[in-house]
Amino acid sequence: MKPDLVTEGEFKGWMTWMSEAFEYDTAGPFYYRKDEQGYITAFRAEAKHMNQGGVVHGGCLMTFADFSLFAIAADEFGEDGYGVTVAFNSEFLSGAKEGQLVESRGEVLRAGGSLIFVRGVVTADGTPCLNYSATLKRLSPR
């Protein structure tokens, strides 16, 4: 899926998918880029991401993890490819607070003909806050 380049703000130069209503406009925006260690995703925790307990809502972290899956597997899908999440697992390790930089890195464990397996960890200012793994399914190029 062809990404969009971010042209301003803290994440200037990163990529995102602006046509994603929930992921970009509602819950996000979330961002990704590739560096020497592979793909990294990120967002800045804001008041809108919080739960009543004063930390980023688990649903927000899982949405960010779901975004991260497709960034981590971007080279497998290519710009014309597309896929869906089939199964998603996660463990909540600690809370992320407002103002913290939330990031994720992960790895493609296996990319088969129809299924792709990815795992990763979300951190907040470097502290692990969510572990996740997922099964993705390739769809035909759109």
Which 3 state secondary structure label does DSSP give 121?
A: strand
DSSP assignment string, 9-36: STTTT-EE-TT-IIIIIIS---EEEEET
109 touches its own copies by CB under 8 A: yes
The burial of 118, by beta-carbon neighbours within 10 Å (0-12 exposed, 13-18 middle, 19 or more buried), is given as buried
- CB contact set of 57 (below 8 Å; sequence gap of 6+): 49, 50, 51
Angstrom distance (rounded) from CA 135 to CA 41: 19
99 touches its own copies by CB under 8 A: no
Considering only 9, 13, 38, 59, the residue that binds its own copies (CB under 8 A) is 59
For residue 87, the minimal CB distance to its own copies (Å) is: 4
Nearer to its own copies, 34 or 48 (CB): 48
Nearer to its own copies, 75 or 107 (CB): 107
64 touches its own copies by CB under 8 A: yes
List contacts with its own copies (CB under 8 A): 1, 17, 19-23, 25-27, 47-53, 56-60, 62-64, 66-67, 82, 84-94, 109-110, 114-115, 117, 119, 121, 128, 131, 133, 135, 137
